[in-house]
C-alpha cells in the first residue's frame, strides 16, 4: 500500500536493525485518515471471505481493526493483555511470548464474542515473530470459528512471523513489507 509505505519512509525512525519506530502515526499519535484508508484496503482484500468478525489485540491493533470493521460492517473485538475487572469468566485464553519485549502475556477474549461458524479476520499493526497473530488464531480455533485471514500493517519480512503464519496455512496480507532496516534505512520487499 503506497500511502502507508510513503508514510513509513517519511516519518518512520529506524531504532536498530530490528526495530522501526512509527509513533507519529500508529503507536502513539495516530493518523485517522491513513487508518481509514487502511480499513478500506483490508476490506477490499478480504471482501470475498464473508468476514463476520474482526479480531485484534490491544492497543495499537485497535485503530486499524475498527476502521476495517467499519468498512466491512462487522463487530470488532480486541483481545486483552491485562486482566479486566468485569471480564472474569468464560474466557478463551492463549499465551503470547514477545521476543522483542521478552515478556509473556496471557491474552483473553470472552467466549460470548467469537462463536462457532464465525469467519474471523485478524488485524495487527506489526508482524515480527508472529506470536501475537498466532495467539489470536489459537483463540479463534478454540472457539471453533475460522481464521479467514490475517491483515498486518507492517510486516518485518526478515523476521520469522510471516513464514510461520503462511506455513500454518493462513492467508496473510501485509500492507507494507520490510526487507531490511540496515544502515538506518527502510528497504521494502519489491
Interface residue list for ligand G4P (CB under 6 A):
19-22, 27, 59-61, 98-101, 125-132, 156, 161
129 annotated ligand binder: yes
What does the DSSP 8-state code read for residue 37? H
Strand spans (E) along the chain:
13-14, 20-21, 53-57, 76-79, 91-98, 103-110, 119-127, 146-156, 172-180, 187-188
Distances (CA, A) of 50 to 4, 25, 172: 25, 30, 16
CB of 24 to ligand G4P, least distance (A): 11
Q: Looking at beta carbons only, is 130 or 149 nearer to ligand G4P?
A: 130
CB of 48 to ligand G4P, least distance (A): 26
Q: Looking at beta carbons only, is 1 or 96 nearer to ligand G4P?
A: 96
43 annotated ligand binder: no
132 annotated ligand binder: yes
Residue 29 sits at the vertex; the CA angle it makes with 158 and 55, to the nearest 5 degrees, is: 60
The closest alpha carbon to 141, from 108, 114, 164, belongs to 114
CB of 162 to ligand G4P, least distance (A): 9
The three cell numbers locating residue 150: 490475517
156 annotated ligand binder: yes
Annotated binding-site ranges = 20, 27, 128-132, 156
Annotated binding-site ranges for 5-phospho-alpha-D-ribose 1-diphosphate = 128-132
Amino acid at each position: 500500500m503506497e500511502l502507508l509505505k510513503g508514510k513509513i519512509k517519511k516519518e518512520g525512525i529506524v531504532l536498530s536493525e530490528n526495530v522501526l519506530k512509527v509513533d507519529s502515526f500508529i503507536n502513539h499519535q495516530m493518523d485517522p485518515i491513513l487508518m481509514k484508508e487502511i480499513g478500506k484496503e483490508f476490506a477490499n482484500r478480504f471482501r470475498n471471505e464473508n468476514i463476520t468478525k474482526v479480531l485484534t489485540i490491544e492497543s495499537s491493533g485497535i485503530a486499524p481493526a475498527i476502521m476495517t470493521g467499519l468498512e466491512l460492517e462487522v463487530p470488532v473485538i480486541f483481545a486483552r493483555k491485562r486482566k479486566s475487572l468485569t471480564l472474569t469468566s468464560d474466557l478463551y485464553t492463549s499465551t503470547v511470548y514477545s521476543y522483542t519485549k521478552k515478556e509473556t502475556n496471557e491474552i483473553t477474549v470472552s467466549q460470548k464474542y467469537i462463536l462457532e461458524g464465525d469467519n474471523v479476520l485478524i488485524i495487527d499493526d506489526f508482524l515480527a515473530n508472529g506470536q501475537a497473530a498466532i495467539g489470536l488464531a489459537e483463540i479463534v480455533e478454540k472457539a471453533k470459528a475460522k481464521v479467514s485471514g490475517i491483515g498486518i500493517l507492517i510486516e518485518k519480512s526478515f523476521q520469522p512471523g510471516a513464514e510461520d503464519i503462511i506455513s500454518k496455512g493462513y492467508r496473510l496480507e501485509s500492507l507494507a513489507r520490510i526487507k531490511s532496516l540496515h544502515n538506518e534505512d527502510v528497504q521494502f520487499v519489491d
